Amino acid sequence: MPEFDLDAVLRAGEKLADETEVLVLTFEDLSLEQREMAVAAVSEHAGTSVYIRTVSGGRIGVSATSDPTRWEDCLAAAVSSAKLAEPVEGWKGLPGPAVLPAGDDPFDPNLSIDPDTASSLLARMNEGASVHPEARVVTAGVSLSKGSSTLANSHGVWYERNMTGISLGLDAIADGSTGYEYASSPFLSRIDPEKMGEKTAFWATASRNGVAVSTGRRDVVLSEHVVDSLILELFTEAVNGRNVLTGKSVFAGKLGETVADSSVSIADVPMDPKGNSMRRFDTEGTPASRCGILENGVLSSFLYDCKTAAQADTVSTGHALRGGNGATYISPHCLRVSGNVRDVTQEPCLFVREVIGAHTANPLTGEFSVEVANAFLMEGGEFVQPVKKAMIAGNVFEMLQQIDGVSAETRVFDGAVVPKMRIPSMQVIG
Amino acid sequence: MDPIRYYDIRYVRGTSTTITVENGDVESAGSNFFGKALIRVLGEKGWGYYCASPFDPDDQTAKQEYIARAARSAKRADVPEEIADVPYGTPRNWACSASEQAAVPIEEKAGLLLKMEAGARLPEICSTSARYSEQYQDVWFEDCNGYAANSSVCRTLFTISAVAARSGNMQMNYEQEAVVGPLNLSAYLGYGEMCAKRAVDLLDASAVSGGRMPAVLDPAIGGVFAHEAVGHASEGDAVRDGVSVLAGKLGTQVGSPLVTIIDDPSIHGYGYEPFDAEGVACGPTELIKNGIMHAYMHSRETLAAVGMETGDAGHARAEPGMQPLVRMSNTYIKEGDASYDEIISECKSGVLLIGSRGGQVDPGRGAFQFNAKYGYRIENGETTTMIRDVSLSGDILSVLHNIALCGSERKMSSGMCGKGQAVPVSDGAPHVYLTEAMVGGSGNA
């Protein structure tokens, strides 16, 4: 397919709007799906997505397409969408060209998008899982991708970013007990397929023959997965500038107030070399920079894109990402959590490796009650007994004030580098 | 040329338009134009897929090239696969193209949405928002045997939400309607006020203290129970892979004789598909019939793998450009004969759960969880105080036996189901009485 002509969109947009912006994402990916310990399917995909925004009189119009041949329809839709939108109060315009921070893209030049690379990763996961032969690997998958994005606007911004991605997933079962692991990274050297396979099979086998626990209060240690999917997910919603502006955040009006234990800090560090999504600029061209959100328990910043920053009479923090219809949404790039580092499983606790239903937590109030999976009673850092069935319940925002230590070891997810957390006296329903 | 035992092409083209309003203003109104084709080839041992975007259905040279690429990929596969030979069936066509809806100017729809949202601005409401979305999707399917089918379906939905605040206490509520075919917003303007009143009511609700107790599920959350606890575990891929607690249970009693659960892609619900992602049109599949495991939902591939007598093909669904997976469509618990008053009275002491905030299941372990929007305590056979943030979890195989009464009136609710890909579904139930359930909440006993 011929290369997409961004200039053509900007030239056409010049006649129709005050400002025009086009973001083009091209990608190719290859996936292998494993069943019965062999490759069952191979998928290839290549494509281009185009996101167009126009601004006239502070009214922002958006549109997107996965079919670049329809960019003119897309531009026309953005222009008519702008007519319908309310003018953004205090709109200061799309960003102009700026000096971007130094640093690398999340791109591995050694990654080749080929079936042999993917097959080898699958085989290495299987090898890792074979350490626990009582577990049966059910399915596994490997996906390799490579792509680039170009952002251009009518103020002269023209930024490019290259990305690679490796995603691995594996699930196993042993006597009705299940285990699951997932990992992704832009860099091959950071993927450890053997360990993933071993851990998956371990969760399935070690969780068998669980015991019941009684209803009551217990100290709980949440795994990195649970901290990410439950605590950071709701925290991110509460510091989202749009939610703050529209009255959908419990943190609205609380900048400068203590909202967490004084040992806890959370910052977004877009260029963190340990992260998965290093970014020098966000999807509307604002240079990315470190943003301290929670400093020693005190709420110090919310996250904004250009539109919400204008409405809040502040500046964008560079947190615009792009949704399916072309509109921006606000999201962190690489959250770093710091706290009182200690051996969180040394003292007796209920360790919860996974929960079922994290997404059913109340994003406004922080209330949740979820089923645990791969949970264990632990003492002295050792697994003592798997727990068969239990729920944990609480309030994420209250838990931020009760965090009793974080682990030194962390796991890297797409938007965060996350430790385990110890929460004293949580409600456990057995 | 690489060996090709079968191929098909599913091309999906369409437009989706979304309007979002917040606190009285149009926040955004955007459109997405999409067009993707999945070319699927069954080689000697397994599948190869190629997703082409953009795709020109008239470009025969490109089509042959894509088929060859998918065939090359299939050569890498090494798991013996068969596809069941099933009749394609006759699609049940509802009037879903909604051309009259497309003709209504977007400004008019935005105006109605603003009007609905304005109705939510009651005292103690600090934030309101609403979203309207319409999607027009045309599907062209063809396979190597010369079979071809096409469909044109419109899906429309709106969501309204309100946040209430009083003395530092905040609560939210949302209401949603989603249909196939046209949806006239002017018929739903009262939803704004209804949504806001519930959010204000929640300010006085308390958290329930968790534990094992009897529970009554309303039709919305009863539908999620059918979907999460039974539907996912009845999907042919989970059964084939041995990661469903319902695998191997055909013909055995898995629940109370009062329980009949059906999945039906042909009914006029949000999960309607004239034909599935393999071109197969199917009607109702009775998953559980009078408490006995009766049939699984299948694709042609899982039907061949699990056995021709184990259920129905026609349940393969896919996002544009993605591979078909076995999925639910419109899933429901069949009505019984109990009245609502009888159910509450029989429960005596427990909780009534109302509305769904979503759920999840681990079908291999048989554990599920779902969360209600709100509910009421049941004391002495009557509903009393309002409760919030209440969830329910359980083991599939034990909870199905705990169903003691099913109501006589069923209602369906619409939403999206995720399994790597998101597809529109509906689910429903009558009121259902469970003699024991694990209820979760953060209140202190």
**pLDDT higher than 60, residue A73:** yes
CB contact at 8 A, B277 and B88: no
CATH number of the domain that residue A82 is part of: 3.30.2290.10
**pLDDT higher than 60, residue A1:** no
Question: Measuring CA to CA, which residue among A304, A267, A266, A301 is closest to residue A286?
Answer: A304
Percent of chain B with pLDDT over 90: 91
Q: What DSSP string runs through B234-294?
A: GBHHHHHTT--TTTT-TTSB-S-TT--EEE-TTSSSTT--SS-TTS-----EEEEETTEE-
Q: Model ipTM?
A: 0.92
Q: How many CA atoms lie within 13 A of A270 on its CB side?
A: 25
Domain match, A194 and A234 both: no
- CA–CA separation, B126 vs B173, rounded Å? 12
Q: Is A209 exposed, middle or buried (0-12, 13-18, 19+ CB in 10 A)?
A: exposed
Q: Give residue B240's identity as a one-letter amino acid code.
A: R
Q: Is 3.30.2290.10 the CATH number for B6-202?
A: yes
B291 vs A: CB within 8 A: no
pLDDT, tens only, A317-347 = 999 999 888 899 999 999 999 999 999 999 9
Report residue B209's pLDDT band, with 50, 70 and 90 as the boundaries: confident
- CA–CA separation, B79 vs A38, rounded Å? 6
Domain match, A181 and A264 both: no
Q: What's the pLDDT at A135?
A: 98
| Closest chain A C-alpha to B338 CA, distance in angstroms | 30
- CA–CA separation, B389 vs B372, rounded Å? 7
Whole-angstrom Cα Rg for chain A: 23
A257 vs B: CB within 8 A: no
Q: What's the pLDDT at B175?
A: 97
| Closest chain B C-alpha to A17 CA, distance in angstroms | 16
Report residue B117's pLDDT band, with 50, 70 and 90 as the boundaries: very high
CB contact at 8 A, B343 and B219: no
Question: Measuring CA to CA, which residue among A173, A137, A9 is closest to residue A78?
Answer: A9
pLDDT, tens only, B18-46 = 999 999 999 999 899 999 999 999 999 99
In a domain, A1, yes or no: no
A370 vs B: CB within 8 A: yes
Q: How many CB pairs under 8 A join A and B?
A: 255
Q: What's the pLDDT at B445?
A: 45
Contact B207 A178 (CB under 8 A): no
A58 vs B: CB within 8 A: no
Domain match, A131 and A245 both: no
Please give the average per-residue pLDDT across A252-264, as a whole number: 97
Please give the average per-residue pLDDT across A189-206, as a whole number: 97
Domain match, A88 and A188 both: yes
Domain match, A345 and A421 both: yes
Last residue of a domain, one of A187, A203, A219: A203
In a domain, A23, yes or no: yes
B124 vs A: CB within 8 A: no
> Which alpha helices (H) appear in A44-192, and where do they start and end?
71-84, 115-129
B36 vs A: CB within 8 A: yes
Last residue of a domain, one of A186, A203, A220: A203
Domain match, A60 and A113 both: yes
Domain match, A173 and A223 both: no
Q: Please give the distance of CA A106 from its chain centroid, rounded to a whole number.
A: 15
Whole-angstrom Cα Rg for chain B: 23
Please, what is the average pLDDT of chain B? Answer: 95
Number of domains, chain A: 2
In a domain, A103, yes or no: yes
Positive or negative, the CA dihedral B380, B381, B385, B386 is positive
| Closest chain A C-alpha to B30 CA, distance in angstroms | 5
Q: Using CB atoms, which residue from A41, A327, A395 is nearest to B77? A: A41
Domain match, A237 and A336 both: yes
Domain match, A327 and A363 both: yes
pLDDT, tens only, B402-431 = 999 999 999 999 999 999 999 999 999 999
**pLDDT higher than 90, residue B128:** yes
pLDDT, tens only, A339-378 = 999 999 999 999 999 999 999 999 999 999 999 999 999 9
Domain match, A136 and A156 both: yes
In a domain, A105, yes or no: yes
Percent of chain A with pLDDT over 70: 100
Tokens of A197: 């396979």
Name the segment(s) of chain B with CATH classification 3.30.2290.10: 6-202
Last residue of a domain, one of A172, A203, A234: A203
pLDDT, tens only, B216-242 = 999 999 999 999 999 999 999 999 999
- Write phi, then psi, for A267 (nearest 5 degrees): -130, 155
pLDDT, tens only, A154-197 = 999 999 999 999 999 999 999 999 999 999 999 999 999 999 99
Percent of chain A with pLDDT over 90: 96
Residues in A closer than 8 angstroms to B436, CB to CB, are none
Domain region containing A429: 209-430
Domain match, A89 and A111 both: yes
Please give the average per-residue pLDDT across B129-142, as a whole number: 96
Q: What's the pLDDT at B2?
A: 74
Q: What's the pLDDT at B96?
A: 65
Domain match, A237 and A267 both: yes
